[in-house]
Amino acid sequence: MRTLLVTAVALLGVCLVCFGQAADTPFVVYTYDSFASWGPASSIEQAFEATHPVDVRFVAVADSRSMLTRLLQERQAGRQGADVFIGIEAAELARTQRLELFVSIPPEDVPNLAAVDPALLLDPSGSLIPYEHGYITFVYDSEHVETETLARTFEDLLDARYRNQIILEDPRMSSPGLSFLLWTIDRYGDPGYLDYWRQLRPNILTVAGGWGEAYDLFLAGEAPIVLSFSTDTAYSVIDHGSARHKVMLLQNQGYRNVYFMGVVQGTEHLDWATDFLDLVLSTEIQSLIPTTEWMFPANPEALLPVSFYQYAVTPPQPVMVSPEAIAENLDRWLREWSLVILGG
């Protein structure tokens, strides 16, 4: 009997140790700073840890492009830094496919994927799954720009009345900045877009390094027009009770950007990782996207706040340049843009 009791206690101890180790197992998610700071990361962490014996750790030291560079460097060094990556933009699709950074996931392993709008499923390999999307547009201060003089076309934006009135972001560092560059390429072709930028240059007050810097300048009244998102009026109404900042569509268009997540090649926690992606696509988490990310959820079954539904703008004619064209030409496009706008 004593032997049996000792054996039972020993087995119990082993089980407790094993469970403790499992509960402390790090599950690392690379993402961008805003997603981790005021996005849905905290809610995702709590929900996932409630059903899985893991310690979810979001790592976000910069924007998504910088985090992707970090992932690439770790891959080249033979290190496994992350299990999941959240924040791959559509412009990076072809590059990530070529480098095989992410695991191809069968759709049945992510049941909530069945609800996602098929128009967002841009990765034929199934390794990158959309979780949100949005539209780059111009936003204007309605107290300083009259509706009657509002630019409606790309050509209107060249008018002298807008001299030094526009704040843009650098496409080499900023997702909105890159989206506008691609939008002009879609509109005027290659190399016609360069001539448009030459004509636009006198109307640009500054080219900020990123969206946050640009929007701060806009809010400070440095210029009445900024390149931003079609959800900005919804944000202004919901968070500040004002519809002063309004969306300006050119040609009834907006540049559509889709954001993706994926399971990093080499993860030792593949089952957990697919469960994690499925959680992000659940209606509970997707319903947080509009008022934390200020984007449209990928799962159309997610609930939208009434004010978001009323004020967030969906452009009638969304524009996208194909990932393949971007992968083939982006470095050259950025060099040419830099020469025209920055002189080097």
Q: What is the pLDDT of residues 45-88, one digit of tens each?
A: 999 999 999 999 999 987 888 899 899 999 999 999 999 999 99
Residue 2 forms part of a structural domain: no
Q: Do residues 68 and 185 both lie within one domain? A: no
Residue 271 lies in a domain: yes
Residue 159 structural domain = 136-255+320-341
Percentage helix, strand, coil for the chain under 3-state DSSP, each rounded to 5: 50, 20, 30
Look at residue 335 and tell me if it is in a domain: yes
Count of domains in the chain?
2
Residue linked to tokens 């016609």: 192
The answer to whether residues 111 and 145 belong to one domain is no
- The answer to whether residues 111 and 202 belong to one domain is no
Q: Does residue 1 lie within any of the structural domains?
A: no
Whether residues 17 and 102 fall in one domain? yes
Indicate whether 125 and 16 sit together in one domain.
Answer: yes
The reply to whether 42 falls in a domain is: yes
Q: Is residue 18 part of a domain?
A: yes
* Other beta carbons within 10 Å of 245: 22
Identify whether residues 80 and 50 lie together within a single domain: yes
Q: Is 202 a domain residue? A: yes
Percent of the chain residues topping a pLDDT of 90: 83
Residues 102 and 209 occupy one common structural domain:
no
Quote the DSSP letter at residue 62.
S
Pair 263, 325: CB distance under 8 Å: no
The CATH number given to whatever domain includes residue 190 is 3.40.190.10
Residues 149 and 250 in one domain: yes
The whole-number pLDDT of residue 174 equals 87
Residues 238 and 150 in one domain: yes
**Extended beta strands in the chain, E state:** 25-30, 54-59, 84-89, 129-141, 166-169, 204-208, 225-229, 245-248, 253-263, 296-297, 317-319
pLDDT tens digits, 208-249: 998 889 999 999 999 999 999 999 999 999 999 999 999 999
90 and 52: one domain?
yes
User: What is the value of pTM for the model shown?
Assistant: 0.90
Are 58 and 18 in a shared domain?
yes
In a domain, 195, yes or no: yes
Instruction: Assign 23 a pLDDT band (cuts: 50, 70, 90).
Output: low
Clarify whether residues 81 and 194 are in a common domain.
no
